[in-house]
A and B are shown apart, each in its own frame.
Chain A
Amino acid sequence: MSAASQRPRPLPTPETQHFWDGLRRGELLLQRCGDTGRAYFPPRPFSPFTGTRDVQVFRASGRATLYSYVIHHRSAPGFTPPYAIAVVTLEEGPRLMTNIVDCPQTPEALLLDMELELAPTPLDEEITLPLFRPAGGGAP
């Protein structure tokens, strides 16, 4: 992705800075509830399961499966249609919105439950986006 990408740029907040710092190093950081041991997303300094502030940041595996998506056929700043807007299920449980790279943006190539891996993709010097690609590094 070029530095000139017109994609909407996320603005980290104090509660999410660690997440974006991690991605800049190529790491996907999640948080875990100290009471239940369950991982959660998006970042916040307490558990959405119990309310405890006893939470830990940890590095996720980067493995995920494709939960669902749409393929957008109209233009959007920073994107060339058609492009898929996907939601993936991380191996640790949480889901996040992303794009699937290194893969044709077609229903034939984008199969639900297909295995994916993290593809950290710099947007600029500060922000690296957590995109995903088919596991094994290429199209099926």
Chain B
Amino acid sequence: MIAPGSVAVVGAAETTELGIVPQLSEIGLAADAALNALADAGLKPADVDGLACVGNFRPQALAHYLGLTPRWVDGTGVGGCSFMLHVRHAAAAIMAGYCNTVLIAHGESGRSRVAGAPRPPEPGSLPGQFEAPFGPVGPPTLFPIPVLRWMKTFGVTEEEIAMVSVVQREWASRNPRALYRDPITVADVLNSRMIAYPFRILQCCVVTDGGGALVMTSADRARNFPQPPAYLLGSGESVEAQMISQMEDFTTSRAFRVAGPEAFRSAGVTHADVDHLMLYDAFAHLPLFGLEDLGFVPRGESARFVAERHTAPGGRLPVNTNGGGLSYTHTGMYGMFAIQESIRQVRGTAPAQVGKVEIAVCHGVGGMFAASGTLVLGRERPS
């Protein structure tokens, strides 16, 4: 096991513009974010010797576009949490000596679709045979399918779930870069346009263009960079089923239950140590599953925990402080933006800074509960 704090994020940035950016293609968004992150670290592309990315462009495309000559490459693509896995894999590669300075980059033209159109599943693939014929049209029709079962199992109400969107909009209102910033009420959520019952439009993420990038290196070098390092204390990853219909239990994510505890264990931290939490929220039930499956609250109690404002501004466990995928931004692979907010909070530079963050946990999902990655980041390197 890699000792906690052996590697650090020394550069982090999003695209110069975020939200509606039709003037850049997908690879262009990734390159813009990469150059911003390298500048944040005081580096040039030639300083990079490791590259990880995912999207409609492969690592060889982005490497050549940026003029890199990597000696370590990772194109792991398990959906929106791929970047959590990239961070974890990069840590191992740096410790193995495969590379010294890793760039992890994301760009997606999720809204404008400049050189990045989604494709329906192959008719002979398992989703093409066993899900597509029954009418799903993308994540809004698939990801919320477990919600009614989860609600019935734990006696959760629609009003309680609606509070997730309300609280995250409160955070977004503090963030000038958030796509939506006007306050909303539970009634606004429940009266918004029905998309896929039980979820309304305000319970589905925004759809945007943008990107983000990270620069990682060994902790021994981390103090030589312009920005305060965010040390990687621990991490975890897993996958479950590509098809949500084949998810083992609609009230809990196995991938979350593998990745989360592994991250805590490898970091040597407990829930009480966590000052700040990011829970990937493509849809409003994801932070609730995250709170439960990562063990922050007992199963079935997450919605009431949110409704009681424990994750809201002023609450004891600030969650999704950028406004999340529901209000801040969601290009299609939101994990990079969750990590960016964790880094800002650890550095103390977030628009809605929650005080001094010693320990931040950042948890991502890929596909429809198909994959998961969890990071534990810290302000100090454990001695």
Contact = CB atoms under 8 A, between A and B. Distances in A.
A2 interface: no
A67 B135 contact: no
14 contacts: A10-B129, A11-B123, A16-B129, A42-B129, A42-B130, A68-B147, A68-B148, A69-B145, A70-B141, A73-B196, A95-B246, A97-B243, A112-B149, A112-B152
Given A70-B144, A72-B196, A79-B135, A97 B245 contact: yes
A36 to B, nearest CB: 16
A83 B149 CA distance: 18
B246 to A, nearest CB: 7
A82 B141 CA distance: 12
Contact of A82 (B144, B197, B198): B197
Given A9-B123, A68-B149, 14 more contacts: A8-B120, A11-B124, A12-B124, A67-B149, A68-B146, A70-B147, A71-B194, A72-B196, A74-B137, A85-B141, A87-B145, A97-B243, A98-B134, A112-B152
Interface in B145-162: 145-149, 152
A129 interface: yes
A11 B196 CA distance: 27
B194 A73 contact: yes
A76 B130 contact: no
Contact of A85 (B122, B123, B135): B135
A7 B245 CA distance: 18
Contacts of A42: 126, 129-130, 243, 246
Interface residues of A, number: 36
A69 B142 CA distance: 9
Contacts of A68: 145-149, 250
A57 interface: no
A97 B250 contact: no
Contacts of B121: 8
A96 interface: yes
| Range for the number of chain B residues in contact with chain A | 35 or more
B362 to A, nearest CB: 28
Interface of A: 7-13, 16, 41-42, 67-74, 76, 78-79, 82-83, 85-87, 95-99, 107, 112, 123, 127, 129
A96 B132 CA distance: 12
A42 B131 CA distance: 11
Contacts of B122: 11
Contacts of B250: 67-68, 87
B149 A123 contact: no
A79 B101 CA distance: 51
B148 A112 contact: yes
Given A68-B147, A70-B141, A72-B137, A8 B197 contact: no
A82 B244 CA distance: 21
A129 B134 CA distance: 9
B197 A70 contact: yes
Nearest to A71: B197
B195 interface: yes
B133 A129 contact: yes
The interface centre, meaning the residue of A42, A68, A79, A87 with most chain B CB atoms within 10 A of its CB, is A68
